[in-house]
Structure 1
Amino acid sequence: MQLFPHQDRALDETFEKNRVAYYLDMGLGKTFVGSEKMWELNTPYNLLICQKSKIDDWKEHFETYYPEYKVIVFDKQSLDIIPEDSVLIINYDKIWRRPELLKLRHFTLMLDESSMIKNESSKRSKYILNLRADNVILLSGTPTGGKYEELWSQLHLLGWKITKQLFLKQFVVYEWDEINQQNKITGYKNVDRLKAKLRQYGAIFMKTEEVFDLPAVNDVMVKIPSTKLYKEFKKHSIVEVNGEELIGDTPAAKKLYLRQLAGVYNDNKLQYVKDLIDSTNDRLIIFYNFKKEYAALVDMIELPISTVNGDLKDLTAYETHSDSVTLIQYQAGAMGLNLQKANKTVYFSLTDKSELFEQSKKRIHRIGQDQPCFYYYLLTDGSIEWRMLEVLKERKDYTDALFEKEEGE
């Protein structure tokens, strides 16, 4: 297997370490670096934990490039005996339901998208932190999503046994919030020292622009006309749409319905998507959030469609038709897909998660892309979407707390 120079460099710099983190920007080939490190470590057993949507991709990867491994998708079946020279693949939502793996010894543990254990109190994180791995490989393009306080679990796996309390004290800046009567994070300190400690414990950081001269990125802001329904709901927190009554009786409900009224319930936005599709013969990638959005888009699109969501992953049309439209739900497809055959991404609606937003942009802007990339942001005039994009560009989540503050201003 021929690696790129930057991938060889990452492996060379960590050759003597058995606990490593490859924080390589999306598109730089973490899959190949991580699997090659696993092969170099050469333990009898290997355990790979990934997102459910990536299981088939990883299985195919190992079977193609490492035929000497016995690849086992550890899903519903139980294993009385785990064969040597095997790679067990399991998703994050299943791992903590497999108590037998706590008895496993002499193995290498690899976490794909290691930011999935950022909450150390979750069942999956507690379980993973209790595994007795000889070696650890962490893979992520966005290890923190801009939030250093979420690194602690990963640092623990790398062998830095600093307590959570001391970690926060050394690297996180707090400010007292009088309204909520609690400390809130306002920034970070000693960042250079933190990065130095990470490198000491086997972390490699690489950004795309440091490695490749990728094509230019072009953001296209499209102002979509608003609707009477949106304005009425924003004012009164209640409106009837197609016989359904939307009631924003809580901040979470109001935020949800404002997003939907700016998106799937805005015929102007649906018409713009149709016009955009009609104006090009190129592949289009469309990101969306809700099932109603998917249903409306599928009903409108007459070209070959590929789908990636919680129910279906089918990229046949994308692979075989140059004029296809690929509909991707953020949670299911913002991470890990290689879609550089396309150079145009349409944001029908925005996610409220910074990490998913950053990951989504890298699906087309990655190794192998030889055309300028265009990102179309469809933003309903005067809607919640403009503030959401502003917050996401600051690499922050658009939380209920931010929404409540905005509504109260």
Structure 2
Amino acid sequence: MSNLVKLFKHQEEALNETYEKNRVAYYLDMGLGKTFVGSEKLWELNTPYNLVVCQKSQISDWKEHFETYYQEYKVIVYEKQSLEIIPPESVLIINYDKAWRRDELTRLEDFTLLLDESSMIKNERSNRSKFVLEKLHPNNVILLSGTPVSGKYEEIVSQVNLLGWKISKDLFLKQYTEREWDEIDGGYKIVGYKNVDRLKRKLTKYGAVFMKTEEVFDLPPQNHINVNVKNTKLYKEFSKHHIAEYEGETIVGDTPASAKMYLRQFAGFMNKNKVQRLKELIQSTNDRLIVFYNFKKEYEIISQLCEELERPVSTVNGQMRDLSAYEEKNNSITLIQYKAGARGLNLQKSNKIIYFTLTDESELFEQSKKRTHRIGQDQPCFYYYLLSEGSIEWRMLQVLKEYKDYTDELFEKEEVKK
């Protein structure tokens, strides 16, 4: 073990279970310290070079982690450096969407590949997945994820191939899923799963370790509170006709995707009642609050509201990552855009999350809740869902609780049923 690292018992157990394996997956629940387990395994494997692929928002965290705990490594945020000038004992860090555009990485040899949030390669046809699966040739593989399948076992196929289990998607579906013919779409759809215990044994054989928080720690209870918000005539008008006027602009939902998006916006920042309800919630406490949102306009409105209320603001989105107010001020409001901050952040100084609007991605939804409900949290956690009455948001929450994405296709089917 690295001299600067002190592991929890459950982290040592995960490493011990996989000691003799060089291709491993640590599917540890959010908050159980996958970063430490993955980096310690990387250190144990001791290859000359190491490649860490993560989300853009996590690059600085990984860099700081290795520089703090593994000072023998040269840590490089990889851009376009020549591989010839990179010395042994290096850790290269790059985000998923840059990695597949860096063809020179395919020439990397004698290296360990660590994929943070390995569910990012669940779509084997995406550019990022093809690059990892077909073009990289690592000596060792480490996969990290708290939500490797998001309730959909079929999404793990690309990951198990990296572990060395060479099973085709078609054979996986035959052995482990229940399918029915969909008369509407003209294809088979997955309606359930079978042989799940056998699947888990197989995954364990190939180096996968599954661990849930409740199996390790007694974390405080979670409390989920639906906050009903009065809806608007504009929402009802757009819901019925898919066209409405908003602040002098004609809003048209001429495709299922655009109709779904605008309904979410009419139920969100276009609903002044929701903004007022958020204001009341913020005024009701001086505690640290986390607010999740989707759209840029939502951020503008909420940050302006916080300014009016004289509350210090931290921000995590695609353009900015500033947690200084969160760290320093007990009454801070931290505004987080789902894709930029639902994963990876340690925010257990707060125990209250407000969902101004919902994401339509199950994995992001589950990950967001774990920002506060994790090791170090000693208070009950509260989740406030602001839901415009009679709106798409109630159905979205129901689907998310079933660990499913609220897709455009699902929205379209529900529109047809109307």
Alignment TM-score > 0.5, same fold: yes
Task: Please give the secondary structure, in 2, of the residue aligned with 1:367.
Answer: coil
2:219 counterpart residue number: 214
Deviation at 1:180, TM superposition (A): 1.4
Assess if the C-alpha contact under 8 Å between 2:83 and 2:108 holds in 1: no
Q: C-alpha separation between the residues in 2 aligned to 1:364 and 1:282?
A: 13
1:33 counterpart residue number: 37
Letter in 2 for 1:175: E
Q: Does 1:308 align with 2:316?
A: yes
Structure 2 residue ranges without an equivalent (≥5)? none
% same residue: 71
Structure 1 residue ranges without an equivalent (≥5)? none
Summarize deviations over 1:210-254 as a string: whole Å, max 9, x none.
000000100111000011111111122111111121111111111
Deviation at 1:356, TM superposition (A): 0.3
Q: Does 1:163 align with 2:168?
A: yes
> Please, which of 375, 382, 386 is the counterpart of residue 383 of structure 2?
375
Assess if the C-alpha contact under 8 Å between 2:293 and 2:338 holds in 1: yes
2:79 counterpart residue number: 75
Letter in 2 for 1:248: G
Task: Please give the secondary structure, in 1, of the residue aligned with 2:325.
Answer: helix
Mean CA deviation greater in 124-133 or 219-228: 124-133
1:255 counterpart residue number: 260
Length, aligned pairs only: 409
1:185 counterpart residue number: 190
2:20 counterpart residue number: 16
2:335 counterpart residue number: 327
Q: C-alpha separation between the residues in 2 aligned to 1:378 and 1:76?
A: 44
Q: Does 1:194 align with 2:199?
A: yes
Over 6 Å off, 4+ runs: none
Mean CA deviation greater in 38-47 or 168-177: 168-177
Task: Please give the secondary structure, in 2, of the residue aligned with 1:174.
Answer: strand
Assess if the C-alpha contact under 8 Å between 2:80 and 2:102 holds in 1: no
Summarize deviations over 1:14-40 as a string: whole Å, max 9, x none.
111111000000000000000000001
Mean CA deviation greater in 306-315 or 93-102: 93-102
Mean CA deviation greater in 47-56 or 157-166: 157-166
Deviation at 1:76, TM superposition (A): 4.4
Task: Please give the secondary structure, in 2, of the residue aligned with 1:387.
Answer: helix
Q: TM-score, normalised by structure 1?
A: 0.99
Deviation at 1:404, TM superposition (A): 1.4
Mean CA deviation greater in 156-165 or 195-204: 156-165
Q: Does 1:272 align with 2:277?
A: yes
Letter in 2 for 1:43: T
1:387 counterpart residue number: 395
Summarize deviations over 1:167-200 as a string: whole Å, max 9, x none.
1211122111111111111111111111000000
1:86 counterpart residue number: 90
Task: Please give the secondary structure, in 1, of the residue aligned with 2:88.
Answer: coil
Deviation at 1:408, TM superposition (A): 2.1
Q: C-alpha separation between the residues in 2 aligned to 1:163 and 1:223?
A: 46
Q: C-alpha separation between the residues in 2 aligned to 1:9 and 1:293?
A: 43
Summarize deviations over 1:278-318 as a string: whole Å, max 9, x none.
11110000000000100111111121100000110110100
2:105 counterpart residue number: 101
Q: Does 1:397 align with 2:405?
A: yes
Task: Please give the secondary structure, in 1, of the residue aligned with 2:113.
Answer: strand
1:288 counterpart residue number: 293
Letter in 2 for 1:337: L
Deviation at 1:81, TM superposition (A): 2.5
The Cα RMSD (Å) is 0.9
